[in-house]
A and B are shown apart, each in its own frame.
Chain A
Amino acid sequence: MPDWLLDVFSGALLLIGGGFGVIGGLGLFRFPDFYTRLHGAGITDTLCAICIVFGLALQSGLSLLTIKLLLILLFLLFPAPTATHALSRAAMFDGVEPELAEDSESLVEHRRESSSNT
């Protein structure tokens, strides 16, 4: 593949990743409560990070640097959901009530299910 094409691809990926980072941040502001905001932050955790790391990997070519970048991605994608889960679980047991749509069940019955044998 010619060099300029690689540059175009990696540039596009970096721009897309940056764009999704901004969208994730925007979601953090626009969504109404704690739980929905977690979803907005989820965009930044996943697609934004994936696009930026792959964009950088295209820049570095096939080298040790690429392996390091992919390791960074791996170490971003594995613990991020764990941290999100810790936050949401703490919020649930601390009694933060989610704003739910009218047609859905309330949190109470679900909480009973999840607190048994954990």
Chain B
Amino acid sequence: MRDTFFLSLLLAALWLAISGVYKPVILMLGGASLLLVVWLSLRMKIVGEEHNPTVFSWRLPLFWLWALVQIIQSNLHVARLVFSPQKISPRIVTVPVPMKSSLGKVVFGNTCTLTPGTVTIGLNREKLVAHALDRQSARALVSGQLAAKIVWLEGSTEKTQ
């Protein structure tokens, strides 16, 4: 019930943000499409804890900010390598996956790919296999800094449950 409510709220906000036309007829159409989407989601059984974005607390924007800094840093690093491609030393690393929820694991894999220099090529319950462009990128992943940040992000979701 709570998840259905938050899904409707989120969809309503999204619709209002994208539409920009607030005449009664249009609003009614928006409401109708919202109901349709919520009904379809319920039918598909995809309304639940795992799909509820509001399970993330104030930690999410902080995590995004931190990830943005990481993305900029690793972009500059890879851009430098583009200009001297002889310096790359591609390697494959396997790191443990300490997150508890599957959502946390997916965030881990996604963020790893999102920072240039490392690409997730395999992910299961315990291990993440990544291709790294050079030693420095590999070290950044092996150091476990990213994993620790996501565990911290995940910690906030458990309290609210």
A62 contacts the other chain (CB 8 A)? no
A contact residues around B68 at 8 Å (CB): 50
Q: A50-B71, A80-B114 are in contact. Are A85 and B120 (CB under 8 A)?
A: yes
Query: Looking at chain B's contact residues, is the secondary structure mostly helix, strand, loop, or mixed?
Result: mixed
In the complex, are the beta carbons of B124 and A114 less than 8 A apart?
yes
Cβ contact within 8 Å between B116 and A43 = yes
Docked complex Cα distance between A96 and B92 (Å): 14
User: Which residue on B lies nearest to A115, using beta carbons?
Assistant: B122
Which of the segments B3-11, B31-39, B127-135, B153-161 contacts the partner chain?
Answer: B127-135
A47 contacts B122, C-beta separation under 8 Å: no
Task: Verify if A105 is at the interface (C-beta below 8 Å from B).
Answer: yes
Q: Is A47 in contact with B82, judged by CB distance below 8 angstroms?
A: no
Q: Is the CB of A30 within 8 A of B82?
A: yes
Grouping DSSP codes into helix (H, G, I), strand (E, B) and loop, the A interface class, with mixed when no group exceeds half, is: helix
- The CA-CA distance from A81 to B68 in the complex, in Å, is 15
Measured CA separation A23–B84 after assembly (Å): 12
Q: How many residues of B contact A (CB 8 A)?
A: 40
Report B-chain residues with C-beta under 8 Å of the C-beta of A110: 92, 94, 122, 129
| Cross-interface CB contact of A46 among B71, B112, B118, cutoff 8 Å | B71
**Do A39 and B20 touch across chains, with their CB atoms under 8 A apart?**
no
Task: Bin the interface of chain A by size.
Answer: 35 or more
Complex Cα distance A23/B116, Å?
13
The distance in angstroms between the C-alpha atoms of A28 and B121, with both chains bound, is 18
Are the C-beta atoms of B124 and A64 separated by less than 8 Å? no
Find out whether the CB atom of B110 lies under 8 angstroms from the CB atom of A78: yes
What is the interface of chain B, defined by CB distance below 8 A to chain A? 14, 17-18, 20, 68, 71-72, 75, 78-79, 81-82, 85, 88-92, 94, 109-125, 127, 129, 131, 133
Interfacial residues, chain A to chain B (CB-CB below 8 A): 20, 23-24, 26-27, 30-33, 35-36, 38-40, 42-43, 45-47, 50, 64, 67-68, 71, 77-78, 80-82, 84-85, 88-89, 91-92, 98-101, 103-107, 110-111, 113-118
